[in-house]
Amino acid sequence: MTVAQLTLARPRKAPWRAAAAVVAALFVAGCGSSGGGRASATGTATPAGTAVAASASPSPSVATASPSPAPRPTAADRRRYAACADGTCEVYVPRPVRIKVRGGTLAVTKVRRDDSLDFKLTFSTGYEGSGTLKGTCGSVVTFYRAGGGAGFTGCPAAGVPVRPTPQPGAQHMQLVGWSADGAAVLRLVSG
């Protein structure tokens, strides 16, 4: 399951500062897994949670194959956070870090190994957003530099992360997955 919890704030410099609204949104999109069933003694699949009758002495010709784990993603820019200066990169994030991005700064404030990461994105225009990214099916959180606001695109039908398409004025963030050593693989795409 993917969860992205976001909080947006308007610029502090605005004349309506006292009336500035804080918008909180919780987006939930499910990421299915193909490992929901199990094989019976005859090799046919049955839904998870369904009882399977098995004989006391299985035939020697029946082989059970254990599913191979999904490959762990890699980050093209490794831990070179300077590659994110233009807002587009793919980096490992094993612990809290500040990353300069086009028009602002991304602060990853907490990394929960193989689970989620907390972040705060602040633009030079005064707009900022913060939240938590969890799940690795390819959902995308989009922040808009100039006018504030954010968007969320849930998991694609295949449940496989698809690189976001650059949009003018937008900063996309995607938690692609977790490396073999438990670091978040974070993809940023700027337009």
User: Counting beta carbons within 10 angstroms of the beta carbon of residue 175, is it exposed (0 to 12), middle (13 to 18) or buried (19 or more)?
Assistant: buried
Question: How far, in Å, CA of 64 to CA of 43, rounded?
Answer: 8
Indicate the range of 34-38, 67-71, 126-130, 185-189 predicted with least confidence: 34-38
Domains: count for the chain: 1
Do residues 139 and 186 lie in contact, with contact meaning Cβ atoms separated by under 8 Å? no
Q: What share of the chain is helix, strand, coil (3-state, %, to 5)?
A: 5, 40, 55
146's tokens: 């100039």
Question: How far, in Å, CA of 8 to CA of 130, rounded?
Answer: 7
> Is residue 115 situated within a structural domain?
yes
Q: What is the pLDDT of residues 157-179, one digit of tens each?
A: 888 889 999 999 999 999 999 99
Question: How far, in Å, CA of 14 to CA of 7, rounded?
Answer: 18
Closest CA to 125 of 148, 101, 151, 150: 148
> Is residue 18 situated within a structural domain?
yes
The answer, yes or no, to whether residue 147 has pLDDT greater than 50, is yes
> Is residue 47 situated within a structural domain?
no
> Is residue 40 situated within a structural domain?
no
124's tokens: 């030079």
pTM above 0.85, yes or no: no
> Is residue 128 situated within a structural domain?
yes
Do residues 3 and 26 lie in contact, with contact meaning Cβ atoms separated by under 8 Å? yes
Q: Which residues pair with 171 in a beta bridge?
A: 143, 190
> Is residue 51 situated within a structural domain?
no
187: DSSP letter: E
100 lies in which domain range? 2-32+73-190
Structure confidence at residue 64 as a pLDDT band (50, 70, 90)? low
> Is residue 120 situated within a structural domain?
yes
> Is residue 113 situated within a structural domain?
yes
What is the structure's pLDDT at 10?
A: 57
